């Protein structure tokens, strides 16, 4: 698999989301609450997550076990989209604890766990990182 513009955009959005996510979470922690920073970093993170999920639909890998070019990691795309919807639904209903838990869960699974899977030797980043 080669680095295409779609893959470059997807990787940029995913890496940015991984970096911005902790800032959004940090802005609501501790004694000093920073709602403006939380909202700004949160919207940036959600935008990156939406972009990464949607661009991921256009990246297909026929080398790994797949169905029509989609590997099992692609199951996280609808899960990401549903989780973002659910988090904003919680927010609209005033259920801050549900919003917080959903966003934290989504960050861990969509950014950290999925990011770790992309470093496996058969994946694009894994090949780039581990090949000599």
pTM attached to this predicted model: 0.86
Give domain limits for the chain: 5-130
Q: Is 116 exposed, middle or buried (0-12, 13-18, 19+ CB in 10 A)?
A: exposed
Q: Model confidence over 34-73: pLDDT tens digits? A: 889 999 999 999 999 999 999 988 887 767 677 776 777 7
pLDDT at 132: 55
């Amino acid at each position: 698999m080669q680095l295409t513009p779609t893959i470059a955009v997807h990787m940029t959005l995913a890496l940015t989301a991984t970096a911005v996510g902790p800032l959004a979470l940090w802005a609501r922690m501790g004694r000093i609450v920073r709602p403006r920073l939380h909202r700004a970093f949160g919207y940036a993170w959600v935008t990156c997550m939406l972009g990464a999920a949607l661009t991921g639909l256009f990246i297909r890998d026929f080398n790994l076990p797949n169905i029509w070019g989609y590997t099992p990691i692609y199951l996280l795309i609808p899960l990401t989209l549903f989780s973002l919807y659910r988090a904003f639904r919680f927010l609209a209903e005033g259920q801050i604890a549900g919003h917080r838990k959903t966003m934290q869960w989504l960050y861990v699974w969509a950014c950290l766990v999925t990011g770790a899977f992309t470093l496996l030797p058969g994946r694009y980043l894994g090949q780039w990182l581990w090949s000599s």
